[in-house]
Chains A and B, each alone.
Chain A
Amino acid sequence: MLKYILRRIILSIPVLLGVSIVSFMIISLAPGDFLDSYRLNPAVNAEQVKLLEKNFGLDKSPVVQYLLWLRNMLRGEWGQSFTYQIPVWDLIWRRVGATLLLSITTFIFTWGIGIPLGIYAALHQYSLGDQIAAVVGFIGLSIPNFFFALLFLFFAAKTGGKIFPVGGYISLDYDSFPAWKKFLDIVWHVLGPMITLGTSGLAGTMRIMRGQLLDELKQDYVEFARAKGMPENVVIYKHALRNAINPIITALGFSISGLLGGAVLTENVFGWPGMGQLIIEALLQQDIFVIMADIMLVSVLLVVGNLIADILLAAVDPRVRLRLG
């Protein structure tokens, strides 16, 4: 098992290297750079621009720039943000927290509701509850994240921000709150983005769970267990469910990617200060180091997510464990 994890980690290194090359290539393809606004500004003379170019390393060829960036990053230096003039790491640190908070709560929301609902729907196939769940699921899958976010804000604004806050991360007088209230305040603010971001995942999880469990319940071993006189609860929850949950765990890795991607729009609408918002700002400003750091971090999260999914899979499914040796 440990060997497997180690191998996976080593294998992900070339992939991440590839990601960095591709991202750097995309950024260098963009016409112009961060200093364009300075060049057009008559108050800044050419020498100053030259100096800035040298400071930022923009006078070198993209390949050299990339190698420099790689060297610095391996040393743990992520560079400076052009726009904010502070180290990229400081800029990103808080954003990572906000994005992780959003992704993790969304994740709990999707799985915490999606899996039980899927199980219920499978056990009560074709019942009214199953059909309602199917319709709601289809709607959840089809509603665009940002449209749902807008509807949510519309609702929040119409109710005067009393039931849900109208966007943002914390309340205005957050600093004056006691610790428990600070916590509740953040939870209250995360609800909106979480629900919007989670609906499609929720619907997907529910549908996969239902289908898988239905498939498993038709298997011979289930019949066998029943014939042996095993209580129905044990048959369903210990044997069938355990096998049925397998593909859901595989989907975990993908769902992290979906969450981070979908978060760009949702964060934008809700004014949630996460990485999605940061990358859009950085892209428009051509703030190279911020973009690179952002993409790298998110890719690492994705790789880690996939790894966790695989480990979980091995933990749940003895067959997988066997295969890994």
Chain B
Amino acid sequence: MAEEIKKEEQQQDVFEKQFLSTPQLVWRAVKRHKFGLVAMWILLILYIFALFADFLSPMDYRVQHIQYKFAPPMKVFWKDETGNFAGPHVYLYKRVKDPVTFQSTFKEATYFDNFKVYDDFSEVETVLRIGEYNPDYESTVTNYQFVLNYKTVAVDNNGKEYNILTETKTEPLVTFEELGIKGKALNKNEDGFLSVDQIPLLNGDDVLLSVEDRGIASTFYFEENYKTKSKLQRYNLKPEDIKEFRKYVTLDVIEVETEDDFYEFFPENLLGVNLKKFNIKFFTKGWEYKWLGFIPGNIHLFGVEKSKLPYFAEDYATKDGIIYLWGADKFGRDMISRLLFGSRVSLTIGLLGIAITFTIGLMLGGVAGYFGGWIDEILMRLTEILMSIPSFYLLVSLSAILPSELSPSVKYILIIVILSFIGWPGMTRVIRGMTLGLKETEFIQAAVALGYPSRRIIWKHLLPNTATYVIVSATLSIPGYILGEAGLSFLGLGIREPSASWGLMLSQAQNITALTNYPWLLLPGLFIFITVLAFNLFGDAIRDALDPRALGH
């Protein structure tokens, strides 16, 4: 049985060798190379991503949200605050600054989707929702904000609390810690609202936000913060009397604005609320783009609805739905979107560069090798000179002379030209060497004897015979172009803001604080690495596949 299968395979092998065309044979050889095949698929996917970058980006890659500078990747929640499954959703971020260490962090925050209040002035119960007409007030609600009291108290060794600092802030958002429901599951009543008595902040309670022990906090409050220092002195408190510091938040009032009027609601007026969450939706409408430069569209693969909170916090109300699944950069731009648009530059630069280099290399190398003599001499001396300058030095020098006020597309083209300029000497040398060898072969001698014009011999006879080498070498040298562009942009000499390229994005990770605190800034480097690795593996597979021995000729 096994014998038969083996025999059949052998027969098939013979059949394939005789009847398959060269491309089929190449494909068959590539398929044998498992890593190369995987690499090919990865590259294909990356190029498709680059092509459809607009559709795939949830946010506009140029729009800055300075509020969300260095926002970490958002957590995707599946269950809502009642503990029930609610589909994937995210929350907005609120920046929270530690009063002592001044370190700011982002916390998931929310506002009311809609809420029910009792108005003691007009004595009605009414439901409010941003952007919606309210029949009781005969007006549209435009905005609301939370007026929050932040209180810092010092606790002495007997457990007695002394108020040392009170700050009032008007905030569009509240975090789950501030609401006092972090990690708790709430219930909804029959009319669909969360009843307020489960939520400590809305109940009017003091919500404990944090407890600081006496480490740096002690020095800070006693010496550096003049407001608290005088308070502590008035209470006659000394650092050794203090056990800890506590920070509380209390809801003072909710300010609601309608088109014609302004209302304030105290916690006791609140009857029920619904907390806002942003569901991740597919094929949603978002920022507008022109695909391939001319087809307008606004459909995106995924995204969230845009936040309705208006002018009090400009940044919370944008044309984009705010969603940072892979974090944000130093201008608050979405990393995913920038990676996608950056891939357009980083992935095409290699292909275009290789095209230019090979045209030059084939032409000059072919001419030099075929004619020889003084043409060869001059060309080779020139390549030697260019090869004697370390390529990256030459690259950096060339791009440093470009004027900085060029438009992004011109700059992009010039960088490709510069990269090709660096690449041509090596290419020319190799093609020349091959041509020199081929010139002596019989079929070329025959062509010369037949009196074919030189141009025709070079193009039709010499160069096609270098094709195998050229294809392999092209695939293997694309990474060089990608790395060259990335290196230049990393140094600030390549693609410029607000355009994106992987190297440029990575340059934000240059400073050591950014690097350690915001490690997602390293993502572009990972993509460069994957692309280069894939090109190397794929090139390796192609090299094996184009080897005449593998093709069975």
Contacts and interface: CB of A to CB of B under 8 A. Distances in A.
B390 A15 contact: no
Given A157-B512, A166-B512, A295-B389, A147 B397 contact: no
B392 interface: yes
A147 B385 contact: no
A167 B396 CA distance: 22
Interface stretch (A59-67, A70-78, A235-243, A297-305): A297-305
A139 B533 CA distance: 7
A27 B388 CA distance: 17
A227 B330 CA distance: 69
Contact of B506 (A139, A146, A154): A146
Given A143-B529, A147-B528, A298-B393, A158 B491 contact: no
Interface stretch (B12-20, B284-292, B482-490): B482-490
A224 interface: no
Contacts of B509: 150
B398 A26 contact: yes
A139 B537 CA distance: 10
A142 B516 contact: no
A22 interface: yes
Interface string B502-541: 0000100110100110010010011011001100110000
B456 interface: no
Contacts of B390: 257, 260-261, 298-299, 302
Nearest to B540: A138
Contact of A295 (B386, B397, B526): B397
Contacts of A158: 516
A135 B488 CA distance: 28
B537 A144 contact: no
A179 interface: no
Nearest to B35: A138
A150 B522 contact: yes
Nearest to B479: A142
Range class of the A interface residue count: 35 or more
Contacts of A151: 522, 525
Q: Is the interface of A mostly helix, strand, loop or mixed?
A: helix
Contact of A144 (B386, B401, B483): B483
Nearest to B535: A142
A15 to B, nearest CB: 5
Contacts, number: 128
Contacts of A260: 390, 392-393
A264 interface: yes
A280 interface: yes
B160 interface: no
A30 interface: yes
B393 A261 contact: yes
A280 B392 CA distance: 11
B381 interface: yes
Contacts of B533: 138-139, 142
Interface string A22-59: 11001101110000000000000000000000000000
Contact of A18 (B381, B490, B519, B529): B381
Given A144-B532, A280-B491, A303 B400 contact: no
A213 to B, nearest CB: 19
Contacts of A154: 515-516, 519, 522
Nearest to B529: A143
Nearest to A282: B400
B510 A269 contact: yes
A268 interface: yes
A26 B389 CA distance: 12
Contacts of B487: 144-146, 264-265
Interface string B383-415: 011101111111011101101000000000000
A211 to B, nearest CB: 12
B401 A27 contact: yes
Nearest to A254: B387
B490 A26 contact: no
Nearest to B509: A150
Contacts of B386: 22
A283 interface: yes
Contacts of B479: 142
Contact of A26 (B384, B397, B483): B397
Contact of B515 (A143, A145, A157): A157
A87 interface: no
Interface string A252-268: 00000100111011001
4 nearest interchain CB pairs?
Answer: A261-B392, A147-B525, A30-B401, A18-B385
Interface of B: 381-382, 384-386, 388-394, 396-398, 400-401, 403, 479, 483, 486-487, 490-491, 506, 509-510, 512, 515-516, 519, 522, 525-526, 528-529, 532-533, 536-537
